[in-house]
């Protein structure tokens, strides 16, 4: 069974070490600035331009931001297939070449790390099975009246999303597991500070644990469990475990939470047939290593 994976996708960075006038004159960028304004002493801000799917904003003479998906940038606007470590390096180098910027001068503000996994069934089955993450119940991703494509859990420093990309991918059974870092302190231990860090394999390897954390700490339901086969103790554990409120009540008791999670998963493994959580984790582990090691001689190739 093939499965798709990404190392990372969306980035938001602050550009330093570049004069904003260099960007205004860049042939790839159209800020809608007339020639006479370019030669003026004072220029009115903000100025906005796009290069492929990247949005560049000059908010002031010394404050410039860039936002967009590296995956879409490199793949011509879509992001549901493989996007390997070596492709990410090529995308970063190409972007920096075009904009005449250096990766080491691009300070990371937000970052998305995620995996796209091609499942042997409709991903809705997986998203419908989500109970909670670290004791916090999931919320629908869509706030409109439409059916949600998946679920999310939001925290101060980060947000996790698990959602169905079937429609976006033209009918492929792709499940997206994503970490969106909104405060870079969350990735401090992995050493992510600039765009150059995204080209260093040693640091990317450290980021794996953040995605594994999502899969290890997410509780999945299993509708195939036949409750009639459970004894009273097992039924009590199973029914409690299917209720998000149960986990919310015990999350502040780590040892008890760990014990109940293990008991619930043991029952699901013994009596259930779906095995969604271990299957997804196994697929992720295999694909992550494949994407990082597709070019074993490439450790870093950024133009710092």
> What's the pLDDT score for residue 5?
53
Query: What is the three-state SS of 27-76?
Result: CCCCCCCCHHHHCCCCCCCCEEEEECCEEEEEEECCEEEEEEEHHHHHHC
How far apart are alpha carbons 225 and 220 in whole angstroms?
Answer: 12
How far apart are alpha carbons 118 and 120 in whole angstroms?
Answer: 7
Q: Which domain holds residue 103?
A: 10-223+274-292
- Within a domain: 196: yes
Domains held by the chain: number: 1
> What's the pLDDT score for residue 2?
44
- Within a domain: 298: no
* Residue ranges, the chain, pLDDT below 70: 1-6, 35-41, 143-146, 291-304
Give burial (CB, 10 Å; 0-12/13-18/19+) of 295. middle
How far apart are alpha carbons 276 and 265 in whole angstroms?
Answer: 11
- Within a domain: 28: yes
- Within a domain: 247: no
- Within a domain: 243: no
> What's the pLDDT score for residue 217?
95
- Within a domain: 48: yes
C-beta of residue 249 within 8 angstroms of C-beta of residue 276: no
Give burial (CB, 10 Å; 0-12/13-18/19+) of 65. middle
């Amino acid at each position: 069974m093939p499965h798709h994976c990404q190392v990372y996708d969306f980035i938001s960075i602050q550009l330093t070490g570049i004069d904003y006038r260099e960007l205004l004159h860049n042939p790839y960028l159209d800020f809608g600035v007339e020639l006479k304004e370019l030669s003026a002493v004072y220029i009115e801000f903000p100025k906005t331009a796009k290069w492929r799917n990247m949005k560049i904003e000059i908010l002031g003479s010394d404050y410039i931001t860039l936002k967009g998906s590296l995956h879409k940038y490199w793949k011509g606007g879509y992001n549901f297939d493989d996007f390997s470590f070596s492709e990410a390096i090529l995308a970063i180098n190409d972007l920096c070449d075009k904009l005449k910027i250096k990766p080491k001068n691009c300070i990371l503000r937000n970052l998305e790390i995620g995996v796209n996994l091609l499942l042997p069934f409709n991903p809705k089955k997986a998203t419908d099975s989500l109970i909670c993450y670290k004791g916090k119940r999931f919320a629908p991703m869509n706030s409109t009246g439409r059916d949600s494509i998946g679920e999310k859990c939001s925290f101060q420093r980060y947000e996790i999303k698990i959602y169905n990309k079937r429609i976006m991918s033209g009918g492929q059974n792709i499940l997206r597991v994503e970490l969106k870092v909104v405060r870079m302190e969350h990735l401090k231990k992995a050493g992510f500070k600039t765009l150059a860090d995204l080209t260093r394999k040693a640091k990317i390897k450290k980021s794996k644990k953040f995605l594994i954390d999502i899969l290890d700490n997410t509780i999945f339901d299993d509708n195939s469990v036949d409750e009639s086969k459970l004894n009273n103790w097992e039924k009590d554990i199973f029914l409690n475990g299917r209720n998000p409120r149960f986990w919310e009540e015990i999350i502040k008791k780590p040892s008890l939470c760990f014990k109940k999670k293990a008991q619930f998963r043991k029952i699901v493994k013994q009596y259930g047939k779906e095995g969604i959580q271990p299957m997804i984790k196994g697929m992720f582990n295999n694909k992550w290593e494949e994407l990082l090691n597709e070019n074993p001689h490439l450790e870093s190739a950024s133009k710092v």
